[in-house]
A and B are shown apart, each in its own frame.
Chain A
Amino acid sequence: MNHAYCDRITRRGALKVGMLGGLGLSLSSYLSLAQQNAGARPTADSCIFIHLQGGPSHLDTLDMKPDAPDEERGEFGSIATRTAGYRVCEHLPKFAQAVNEFCILRGMSHSAGAHPQADEYIFTGNRPSAAVKFPGLGSVLARERPARADLPSFVAVPTSEMGPGFLGVAYSSFKTTNVPRRGQPFEVRGLSLTNGLTIESVQNRTRLLQDLDSRFQAIEKNNSLLQGMDRFGQVANEMILSAHARDAFDVGREPARLANLFDNNEFAQSLLLSARLVEFGVRFVTVQYGAWDTHRDNFSNLKDKLLPPFDGGITALIETLKQKGLLERTLVVCLGEFGRTPSINAQTGRDHWPRAGWALFAGGGVQANQMIGGTDRKGHGPDDGTKIAPDDLATSIYTALGIDPKKEYSTSSGRPVTLVQHGEAVRGLFG
């Protein structure tokens, strides 16, 4: 599922550029909080963030333009949905019947046209900057609303480029590195005690470790690497002793009536895991899915490989969260880093198009069964009344989760940094 982009590069390095200040100051010193969160009442306690990696073609999915000129329209037909007058791609039959569960935002627009920058933009709500590395949504949640001590706050299934930015590596995601298979037990290695170890003996040796691991104490406050290791060590200690943690990952224990809702593909199984993790108390799960970077063979890829798992997976997720009674307090967000060009290139593909993408919101206080925004007649850009940028999405997500998007962090040199620099909550999204 970790697909390389069109340029065959997943460039972690690009996400790190400029992370350190002029002297290479460790930006963990940003951690000193300038102000406490002025408590807006959250409508959600956790978030499932589905990243359609590569950027799905908006025009061939949820923002179809039947009247577009032939050279742009593409080969898919549309079908009616439960919302009168709204039609979606013919290969999304389940979604068409479930549109009332979602708020569909169309005409999301920004200006970062390359994957790493666009990813960073939608993950942080800030246009990438050479000087400050902003933290991803999951890292901020891990910091501001940590999960119980024996679970990671922020899990990536199976992996993600969403990084902790200036919060430091301590707040990076826990990557499951693989995905469950249908009907099989799933565990993250290293969470079971073997070899006759008892809880008491583990606690004993952990205390010994804590006493002996003091070599670098004096430099820890300026060192993101050491802080990260410390934080991960603490969570690891708790998780190893926790039956709850083991249980949280084991989708094999899901009741059949729920498990059967999910097809046997990586996307659906990842979503099943995400629902279970949230149920057990993980704050933020990001699911990374797909090779949506369809510079070549856009239509056959969508039709055969991408849309069926998407259609079944996203609808099963909502149904499961509902049945578990979690939907109300779980914010579900699903989007790609951008849309794709209206014009179809020589390889029957579409290229990057950050001026018009869509995002799905559900659960967690979202006013469902509505559409917000829109694109112009041909889907080239947002229509006149629409102005939705990643900044606005992040602002909305933070607000729903009870985090002040304007919260200030400050550097050791006193430089203030606002969590989301620009942006306003999307009006009407949360009723």
Chain B
Amino acid sequence: MKQILALVVLFVAGSAALAQEVLPSISKRFAPGAAPSELPNFQRHVVTLLGRLGCNGRNCHGSFQGRGGFKLSMFGFDFDADHTALVGGKRPKVDKGDPLESLLLAKPIDAENHGGGERFKKDGWEYRVLRQWIAAGAKNDSDKAGKLTRLEVLPRELATDAQLQVIAHWADGTREDVTCLTRFASNDDGVAKVSDGGRVTFVGKGATYIISSYDGGVQSTLAIRPVTSLANEKYPDLKPATAVDAKIGGQLKKLGILPSELCTDEEFLRRVMLDVAGTLPTPQQVLEFRGDKSPDKRRAKIDQLLESPEYAAWWTTLLGDLTGLNAPLFLGNTEWAKVAGDQWQSWLQRRVRDNVGYDKIARGLILAVSRRPGQTYEEYAAEMSHYTRKKAPLEYADREFLDHFWHRGNVGQADEKALSFAHIFLGVRLDCAQCHKHPFDQWSQQDFKQFTAFFQRIQRGLAPDSIPMHAKLQKSLGNPEKLPAAERRAFYRKISEQGEPAPWREVYIAAPPKSPHILPRILGGDVVPITDVHPLEPLTAWLLRRDNPYFARAFVNRVWAHYFGRGIVDAVDDFNLGNPPSNKELLDYLAGAFVERGYDMKWLHREILNSHAYQRSWRPNETNALDEKHFSRAVLRRLHAEVALDALTTATLGAKARAAYLTKVADRRIYQQPTADLKRTEFGLAVFGKPLRITNCDCERQMDPSLLQAIFLRNDKDLVTLLERKDSWIKEVSAKDEPEKLVREAYLRSLSRLPTEAELKRSHTYLAAAATLQEGVRDLLWALLNTKEFITNH
């Protein structure tokens, strides 16, 4: 995405740049025998050379305390500090009077015992560059380097072994071959390797990216070698069904991979219901869908599901995961936890249900403060009581902002808010840049500090003008904060249910600091003055600009990953220049169209769900059996914890009890908030990995199978109860029932399909041999719930 921006910049400033020759590589300019008169630039040449040689890496002088009394900024980019480290201190690394005596030269050639060994040869070009820089006074002229506007890597795409050439484009119009100063890496050296000098060699089949880093620039180059002989011109002419399919097809063509057939109707129904509504189909729904002769029934089913309360519930939970909804944890299980948690959830649910634009939801979170402009603390406390009272309460969901969002206990500090914001809304992990330059991206520590500055004034607790009124309120209530915890809780619960004002805390904007020492700057953008507005207003405006490279992409990518088990950028919260999308056209298309349609979430769901890509079978063909990355077939995914537990429940309940369970969507696991810790979590949900929503990582939700899950499904007391409780299906089975009908029912209620002939026969035999028909059916259902087919979405 950064590349796009960079491209735009270049086109604007381009004409001057194109007029200039590309400066040949500095390794040539300073080759032995050449007599260069030029002065190497500290930023463009010296620091990048040290980076290329590995000097500022974490294991060398880039580590926290440096090494051998010499510390560089990790991965470069703190030019002043690096310059001081070289020329200052008790033992400067350069000797301006006698350059050849400089440690900066003597160490890397290993003339002076160097822990890092020999990095280059005496009199080699590297040596000569550094010598020249020292001889000219070892100056920090990074201010003269200007801004790197673009890093160009040729060729743009690789199908055969090749030497990469890297050209730096600077804002002043100069262009320079910097291949010899660039760090290269292959994202998968099982497909292609790259040498330190940028020579790419294919060693296997498939696709990978070669990552080139120089100064603040990072570029990825697709290296692709077809998997079969069907690639490109030999590829059959497959008419894409939708825009999504066209983007995927384009890539499969290059790889020579044929997509799988479409899945069956039963498979589609089970898949789409689990994904969209978190719900297993009932036997009746399966049979109805099978019997439906309308050619458009899949589209109709998608539309119907997106209007269902189950969709609203399940996607509220998924958005709750993303936005860190865990009131019991953050409010310490206090009297406010349940109230705040329910408010939070209802606020999200309303918006999912009504399909409010994702941009508006984001605004409602980011710009949240507790009090409206001009509202006093007393009025605020009174307003809150209207939401908590038992009698005809007002709805918290009506509020424009969800103030609890910034109440989260794990984002108390500004840097924590910044990290959380980047994770949720940008899909970016800024943690690295918190302490040093991001090794795979453009972000420096300075970028992080300036980004963090936006969040400095967002505070929780009590604003100065609220403190007296809060104290007054406490006093008028008889200072309940002095009561023992249990009594205090009961007291607050009572008054809030009665509709009396309670001493809520608040999220507020603190006064601006007198002299802000760090100016807030948008990531990859400009410094923004924020004194007159909500400090996050400019950041939100940037987020919602049509050309924002992250916001829409991060969201569509997460939704995509939900449906395919893998993001187009994967991991979904790791957008960085070194981790490009597996299909850039696809991501760009979805994000662009999503924005154009006003961040319409249901449009996005429809666009994905109606594609053939989503509706493909898991059955591979000869060309795609090993592909899990290019969406050529359905990939098996384990069910989410909540969906699995709900599915176990509906598969085992009798028809009447099941109907009741399905009706009360708000009581189902798919709508359950997390608890304060795993010990309080329903055991089954913990075993299948329901997240507490405490870390800035989508990986917090566990989707891998485990031994404990297998034991749970086979023999946990909760499972035994499900099978044998009074209102279970098993208890409805009578000796008079027709065995074949029971087998069909068992299959429909668990695997959402009818049994094959062989399965019918085997099951029938089992029932015939069982002590009672009821026990036989119990064992059959037990077996089906323990199949891999049940616990996966396929």
* A residues lining the B interface (CB < 8 Å): 4, 7-14, 16-18, 20-26, 110-113, 130-132, 152, 169, 172, 174-175, 177-178, 188-195, 201, 204-205, 208-209, 211-213, 215-216, 218-219, 222-223, 225-226, 228-230, 232-233, 235-237, 239-240, 341-343, 351-355, 380, 411-413, 415
Question: Does B708 count as interface, using CB distance less than 8 angstroms?
Answer: yes
- Bound: A189/B416 CA distance, A: 37
What residues of chain B lie closer than 8 Å to A24, measured between beta carbons?
566, 626-630
Tell me the bound Cα distance from A208 to B694 in angstroms.
41
Q: Chain B residues near A14 (CB, 8 Å)?
A: 699
Chain A residues, CB < 8 A from B789: 213, 215-216
In contact, A174 and B708 (Cβ under 8 angstroms): yes
Question: What are 25 inter-chain pairs, A to B, with CB distance below 8 A?
Answer: A8-B694, A11-B697, A12-B700, A13-B574, A13-B699, A14-B699, A21-B188, A22-B207, A23-B255, A131-B186, A172-B704, A174-B706, A177-B678, A189-B711, A192-B715, A195-B720, A205-B779, A208-B763, A213-B783, A215-B789, A216-B618, A223-B636, A226-B788, A236-B710, A239-B711
Most chain B C-beta atoms within 10 Å of own C-beta, residue among A8, A16, A204: A8
Contact A9 B63 (CB under 8 A): no
B626 touching A222, Cβ below 8 Å: yes
A143 smallest CB distance to B (angstroms)? 15
Known: A174-B706, A178-B679. A342 touches B65 (CB 8 A): yes
A314 CB, min distance to chain B CBs, angstroms: 26
Across the interface, which residues of B come within 8 angstroms of A21, CB to CB?
188, 190-191, 204, 206
A240 near B711 (CB under 8 angstroms)?
yes
Cβ contact within 8 Å between A229 and B620: no
Least CB distance, A280 to chain B, in whole angstroms: 16
**Are A175 and B629 in contact (CB-based, < 8 A)?**
no
Complex CA gap A352/B208 in Å reads 33
Complex Cα distance, B59 from A175, in Å, reads: 33
Given A20-B629, A194-B717, check contact A9 B188 (CB 8 Å): no
Q: Is the CB of A341 within 8 A of B64?
A: yes
Let me know if B716 and A190 touch, CB within 8 A.
Answer: yes
CB distance from B674 to the nearest CB of A (A): 15
B714 at the interface (CB under 8 A from A): yes
- Neighbouring B residues of A212 by C-beta, 8 Å: 759, 762-763, 783-784, 787
Write out the residue numbers on chain A whose beta carbons fall within 8 Å of the beta carbon of B370: none
> Are A236's CB and B711's CB within 8 A?
yes
**Nearest A residue (CB) for B790:** A213
> Which of A175, A194, A211, A415 has most chain B Cβ within 10 Å?
A211
| Contact of B720 with A26 in the complex, beta carbons under 8 Å | no
Pick the 9 closest A-B CB pairs, nearest first.
A111-B59, A22-B206, A24-B629, A13-B699, A22-B191, A24-B628, A236-B710, A232-B710, A209-B783
In angstroms, Cα B52 to Cα A51, docked, is: 35
| CB atoms of B782 and A23 under 8 A apart | no
In chain A, what residue has the closest Cβ to B782?
Answer: A205
How many angstroms between the C-alpha atoms of A190 and B788 in the bound complex? 19
Residues 207-261 of B contacting A (Cβ, < 8 Å): 207-208, 227, 255
Q: Which of B569-614 contact A (CB under 8 A)?
A: 571, 573-574
**In the assembled complex, B58 has its CB within 8 A of some CB on chain A:** yes
Q: How far is the CA of A211 from the CA of B65 in the complex (A)?
A: 61
Q: Which residues of A contact B203 (CB under 8 A)?
A: 415
B700 and chain A: residue at smallest CB distance: A12
Within the complex, the shortest CB–CB distance from B782 to chain A, in Å, comes to 6
Q: Looking across the interface, which residue of chain B has its beta carbon closest to that of A345? A: B64
Given the interface contacts A225-B638, A411-B190, does A204 sit within 8 Å of B697 by beta carbon?
Answer: no
- Tell me whether B695 is interfacial, beta carbon within 8 Å: yes
A175: min CB distance to chain B, Å: 6
Please measure, in the bound complex, the distance between the C-alpha atom of A216 and the C-alpha atom of B679, giving whole angstroms. Answer: 35
Chain B contacts for A7, CB-based, 8 A? 431, 434
Residues on the B chain within 8 Å of A192, using CB: 715
Return the chain A residue nearest B696 by Cβ. Answer: A9
Q: Are A222 and B625 in contact (CB under 8 A)?
A: yes
Are A23 and B629 interface neighbours, CB within 8 A? yes
A117 CA / B185 CA spacing, docked (Å): 18
Chain B residue nearest to A218 (CB atoms) is B619
> Chain A nearest CB: distance from B187 CB in Å?
6
* Given A22-B205, A177-B708: 10 more A-B contacts, CB < 8 Å: A7-B434, A13-B573, A22-B191, A24-B566, A24-B628, A190-B712, A190-B714, A191-B715, A216-B636, A236-B710
Does the CB pair B697–A175 fall under 8 Å?
no
The answer on a CB contact under 8 Å between B715 and A193 is yes
Which residue of chain A is the closest to B63 with respect to CB atoms?
Answer: A113
Q: Is B780 an interface residue (CB 8 A)?
A: yes
Q: A13-B699, A240-B714, A343-B65 are in contact. Are A18 and B187 (CB under 8 A)?
A: yes
Residues of B within 8 A of A342 (CB): 65
Determine the chain A residues whose CB is within 8 A of the CB of B548 once the complex forms: none
CB distance from A25 to the nearest CB of B (A): 5
Query: Cβ of A352 and Cβ of B710 under 8 Å apart?
Result: no
Total A-B residue contacts, Cβ distance less than 8 Å = 230
Q: Which residues of A contact B185 (CB under 8 A)?
A: 130
Would B191 and A233 count as touching, CB distance under 8 A? Answer: no
Beyond A222-B626, A225-B792, A353-B64, is A413–B204 a contact (Cβ under 8 Å)?
A: yes
Q: From B207, which residue of chain A is reached at the shortest CB distance?
A: A22
Contact partners of B59 in chain A: CB under 8 A:
110-111, 354
The interface residues of chain A lying within 8 Å CB-to-CB of B619 are 218-219
Known contacts A113-B63, A212-B784; A175/B708 CB under 8 A: yes
A23 touches B227 (CB 8 A): yes
Of A4, A188, A208, the residue contacting B762 (CB under 8 A) is: A208
A23 to B257 alpha-carbon distance, docked (Å)? 11
Report chain A residues within 8 Å CB of B543: none
**In contact, B694 and A4 (Cβ under 8 angstroms):** yes
**Contact present for B786 and A209 (CB under 8 Å):** yes
A216 to B790 CA separation, bound complex (whole angstroms): 11
On whether the beta carbons of A213 and B787 are closer than 8 Å, the reply is yes
Contact B625 A208 (CB under 8 A): no
Give every chain B residue within 8 A of A204 (Cβ-Cβ).
766, 779
A189 touches B779 (CB 8 A): no
**Residue pair A25, B626 in contact (C-beta under 8 Å):** yes
B150 CB, nearest partner CB in chain A, Å: 25
A11 touches which of B189, B191, B638, B695 (Cβ 8 Å): B695
CB distance from B45 to the nearest CB of A (A): 26
Judging by beta carbons under 8 Å apart, are B187 and A130 in contact? Answer: yes
A contact residues around B626 at 8 Å (CB): 23-26, 222, 412
Residue of B nearest to A220 (CB): B788
Are A232 and B410 also in contact (CB < 8 A) when A212-B784, A225-B792, A240-B715 are?
no
Which residues from chain A contact B67 at a C-beta distance below 8 Å?
A: 355
B696, B702, B714: the one contacting A12 at CB < 8 Å is: B702
Question: Which parts of B49-65 form the interface with A (CB within 8 Å)?
Answer: 57-59, 63-65
Asked if residues A194 and B788 are in contact (CB atoms below 8 Å), the reply is: no
**A237 & B779 in contact (Cβ 8 Å cutoff):** no
B707 located at the interface, meaning its Cβ lies under 8 Å from any Cβ of chain A in the complex: yes
In the assembled complex, which residues on chain B have CB atoms less than 8 Å from the CB atom of A236?
707, 710-711, 713-715
Task: Give the distance in Å from the alpha carbon of A189 to the alpha carbon of B687 in the complex.
Answer: 11
Contacting pair B636 A189 (CB below 8 A): no
A189, A352, A353, A415 — most chain B CB neighbours (10 Å): A189
Docked complex Cα distance between A121 and B682 (Å): 34
* Contact status B571-A17, CB under 8 Å: yes
What is the chain B residue whose CB lies nearest that of A163? Answer: B704
- A residues in contact with B788, CB < 8 Å: 213, 215-216, 226, 229-230
Chain B residues with CB below 8 A from A205, complex form: 779, 782-783
- List of A residues within 8 angstroms of B65 by Cβ: 341-343, 353, 380
A110 partner residues in chain B, CB cutoff 8 A? 59
- Flag if B787 contacts A209 (CB, 8 Å): yes
Query: Which listed residue, B190, B416, B759, touches A413 by the CB 8 Å rule?
Result: B190
Whether B695 pairs with A8 at a CB distance below 8 angstroms is yes
Contacts of A208 in B (CB 8 A): 762-763, 766, 779-780, 783
Q: Is the CB of B783 within 8 A of A232?
A: no
Closest partner residue, chain B, to A29 (CB atom) = B626
Q: CA separation between A83 and B702, bound complex, in Å? A: 47
Most chain A CB within a 10 A radius of its CB, from B205, B206, B628, B687: B628
